[in-house]
Amino acid sequence: MDTTVTILVPTYNERDNVIPLVRRIDGALAGRSYQVVFVDDDSKDGTAQVAAALSPEYPVRVIVRRDKRGLASAIVDGIKETTGQVIGVMDADLQHPPETLPLLLDEIENGADIAIASRYIKGSGLQGWALARRVISRGASFLARMLLPFIRPVKDPLSGFFVFKRRVVAHANLRPTGYKILLEILTEGESAKLTEVPYTFEARSKGQSKLSIFQEIDYLKHVYSLMKRRGELFRMVKFSLVGISGVGVNIGILYSLTEFAGLFYLASAAIAIEVSIISNFSLNNYFTFADRRAPGITGFFRQLGKFNLVSLVGLAINAAVLVLFTETFGVYYIFSQLFGIAMATAWNYLGDIWWTWK
């Protein structure tokens, strides 16, 4: 068993950061057995050479990849090329303060499988981020936690700074696109115990961020791929099918009560709405959200109540969009209605996955 703590650091053009980084890691991990492994994507500024020159003095290793590019895939290669049983991941640019490493390692020693340095819990901070970047980061985080319910307990699933036990990924088929290696590990890895430790994400000291619109697109592709792998995409399809079945139920009841029972059509419509909500709920409960179904009869009625509320708000959204688009924007009423249905369905899905079957 290799008990060395392996710190994987992806680099691309970080020449001026590697020396202060290694010095600070060495200071923070004094007394522990550790190794810093740089995974460099053939930087043009001599990062690999500067890092390699540190190796007589510090336990530093450099892996250079010639044609592969990408932060997350660099970490996957770093995992494959090393044997340490505890692995840390952090950026080279000193935005992730090495002094947080001992706190993360303490969590691992106390039984955590993954310890995440978090920007979004009590005691955390963010330095030098413009409002736009804060909003994008929060939005991206929210999107992941919404669409991938299994990572919801993690407040900062997009963190690039964390420590984990190798056994978490021992049987995992890691195949990330883009930046977010932690998301991949949370999806494919096996971890029983997660903890988060606050830290302050510092301003970049030297060099430039590589984050661009391409990473944002990669991020969306990655979330889509993770949804597919974990059956979350299929869940959306099931939810839509149930919704369509509800339309059938609604029309059937509306017609029968009006034609055969002689009810006024608006009274039939009110009953039809409630009956279709109940049938949608039952189908979703045993089909779409079978894995998140609350136990017992109280659980059933609590979720039914929530589902009812979400659906009624959905109906109001549908009606409001219909009226607004038709009356105010002069849109053909059938198109307004189609748009209203789309908005209400999105609302219902998010409300139900976030709240009803949380």
Give min distance, CB of 38 to ligand GDD, in A: 8
For the record, the structure tokens of 144 come out as 């992941």
Question: Which stretch in 52-60, 92-100, 305-313, 334-342 sits in contact with ligand GDD by CB under 6 A?
Answer: 92-100
141 binds Mn ion (CB under 5 A): no
Among 102, 96, 93, smallest CA distance to 20 is for 93
Site residues for ligand GDD, 221-250, by CB under 6 A, read none
Question: Which stretch in 4-12, 13-21, 202-210, 220-228 sits in contact with Mn ion by CB under 5 A?
Answer: 202-210
Question: Which stretch in 33-41, 108-116, 163-171, 329-337 sits in contact with ligand GDD by CB under 6 A?
Answer: 33-41
Q: Is residue 42 within 8 Å of 13, Cβ to Cβ?
A: no
196 binds Mn ion (CB under 5 A): no
Q: What is the 3-state secondary structure (H, E, C) of the chain?
A: CCCCEEEEEEECCCHHHHHHHHHHHHHHCCCCCEEEEEEECCCCCCHHHHHHCCCCCCCEEEEECCCCCCHHHHHHHHHHCCCCCEEEECCCCCCCCHHHHHHHHHHHHCCCCEEEEECCCCCCEECCCCHHHHHHHHHHHHHHHHHCHHHCCCCCCCCCCEEEEHHHHCCCCCCCCCCCHHHHHHHHCCCCCEEEEECEECCCCCCCCCCCHHHHHHHHHHHHHHHHHCCHHHHHHHHHHHHHHHHHHHHHHHHHHHHCCCCCHHHHHHHHHHHHHHHHHHHHHHHHCHHHCCCHHHHHHHHHHHHHHHHHHHHHHHHHHHHHHHHHCCCCHHHHHHHHHHHHHHHHHHHHHHHHCC
Residue 70's binding partner, choosing from Mn ion, ligand GDD, none, with beta-carbon cut-off 5 to 8 A by kind? Answer: ligand GDD
Residue 101's binding partner, choosing from ligand GDD, Mn ion, none, with beta-carbon cut-off 5 to 8 A by kind? Answer: none
Distance CA 163, CA 245 (A): 46
Nearest residue by C-beta to ligand GDD? 160
Q: Which is nearer to ligand GDD, 158 or 249 (CB)?
A: 158
Question: Which stretch in 9-17, 168-176, 296-304, 325-333 sits in contact with ligand GDD by CB under 6 A?
Answer: 9-17
Give min distance, CB of 64 to Mn ion, in A: 20
Question: Which stretch in 34-42, 231-239, 304-312, 343-351 sits in contact with ligand GDD by CB under 6 A?
Answer: 34-42
Give min distance, CB of 83 to ligand GDD, in A: 20
Distance CA 125, CA 57 (A): 33
Q: Which of 92, 273, 277, 294 binds ligand GDD (CB under 6 A)?
A: 92
Site residues for ligand GDD, 140-159, by CB under 6 A, read 158-159
Angle at 302 between CA 296 and CA 306, to 5 degrees: 145
Question: Which stretch in 16-24, 69-77, 191-199, 208-216 sits in contact with Mn ion by CB under 5 A?
Answer: 208-216
95 binds ligand GDD (CB under 6 A): yes
Residue 12's binding partner, choosing from ligand GDD, Mn ion, none, with beta-carbon cut-off 5 to 8 A by kind? Answer: ligand GDD
Site residues for Mn ion, 81-110, by CB under 5 A, read 93, 95
Q: Which of 7, 25, 93, 105 binds ligand GDD (CB under 6 A)?
A: 93
Binding flags for ligand GDD, 43-82, as an x/- string (CB under 6 A)? --------------------------xxx--x--------
Tell me which residues touch Mn ion (CB under 5 A).
93, 95, 209
Tell me which residues touch ligand GDD (CB under 6 A).
10-12, 14, 39-41, 69-71, 74, 91-93, 95, 158-161, 179-180, 201, 209-211
